[in-house]
Amino acid sequence: AEAISSVLHAAGRTSFSVLSNPEFLAEGTAMDDLEHPDRVLIGGPLTEAGATAIDRLSQVYAHWVPQERIIKTNVWSSELSKLVANSFLAQRVSSINAVSAICEASGADVDEVARAVGMDTRIGHKFLNASVGFGGSCFQKDILNLVYLCQSMGLSEVAEYFHWVVKMNDLQKERFVSRIIHGLFNTVTGKRIALLGFAFKKDTGDTRESAAIEVCRRLMQERAEIAIYDPKVEHEQIWYDLSEVTGLEQSKIEKYVKLEGSVQAAAKDAHALVVTTEWDEFKSVDYRKVYQQMSKPAFLFDGRNILDREELHSIGFVTYSIGKPLDGKLNTV
């Protein structure tokens, strides 16, 4: 907002009050978030004209937002609040993912730990679901913006603190891929792996910073044969993302990757299923039929902890779920 204000005022012909009004909308629930916001944040210059501009924008929101939820601040407070909000949410995800590693090493269950911790009213239960890692267009971008601001202000230790939220997210993806490689007897070369989900979360076709992209890159690096199925992401987007992350042309990527139209098609002759997006569709799949058409032993790596491990065990799968006690049949060395 300060930069825009400087440009407009440098022209000298008009008078503007530039406001900061960050959005807090989540993909998949954007309209509901707009109609029922936790808060509306309006930041402006600490001048009479700035106060007038803030009040006028506030009147627009007052048509459907209670006044007590409209927060008026200076520009820096508004813009920093947006970055800090997403950093705090991402921090919770990285924290529970760090805990998931401890759970796997100790035999604890990350869901039980998260439930116990979340019942503390000072903490709450939201964003305490262990997974292969967060994605989307906001979390990483906003954290890195915060890191840049800290560095530019000479706050190197603070910058490093927030940077570790991103580093922990990258580590979680690497841990997940390592579990797949070790689980399949320390090599995935030439083995078919069915990747279920490519969007960064369910109910969207958005793949920006999706954990699935990095999982695919690493599996391609290990020369696995990957069959991808996502119910919403366009095939062109998948090819584009993989080309961007690998630097390879589509024709070369196709040597390692196939795009399928269903879970069953992706799973045919696969050595392992790998869940990277928490699509509801994946919860209702007949895994007994899927198991019958897979190579044996059949593995399932649940990167979103959405499937019933006990049922999968009874079918015959060797399973891995993040932060859960390890399957005795899973190779870990």
Q: Nearest Cα to 165, choosing from 111, 214, 96, 104? A: 96
Catalytic residue among 103, 138, 150, 216: 138
- Coil, strand or helix: which one is 71? strand
CB 302 within 8 A of CB 156: no
Q: Which of 290, 330, 324 is nearest to 106 (CA)?
A: 324
Place of tokens 């204000």: 5
Residue with tokens 């269903």: 262
For residue 314, give both structure tokens. Answer: 């009874």
Half-sphere exposure of 27 (CA within 13 A, CB side): 15
Q: Residue 144 and residue 327: Cα distance in Å, rounded?
A: 37
Cα–Cα nearest to 215, from 257, 249, 158, 271: 257
- Token readout for 92 is 């919770």
Helix (H/G/I), strand (E/B), else coil: 136: coil
The answer to whether 209 and 200 are in contact (CB under 8 A) is yes
Residue 279 corresponds to which amino acid? W
CA angle 115/121/124 to nearest 5° reads: 50
Q: Is residue 216 flagged as an active site residue?
A: no
Roughly how many angstroms between the first and final C-alpha of the chain, as a whole number? 52
CA distance 247 to 259: 19
Contacting residues for 156 by C-beta, under 8 A, at least 6 apart? 150
- Catalytically active residues, by annotation: 138
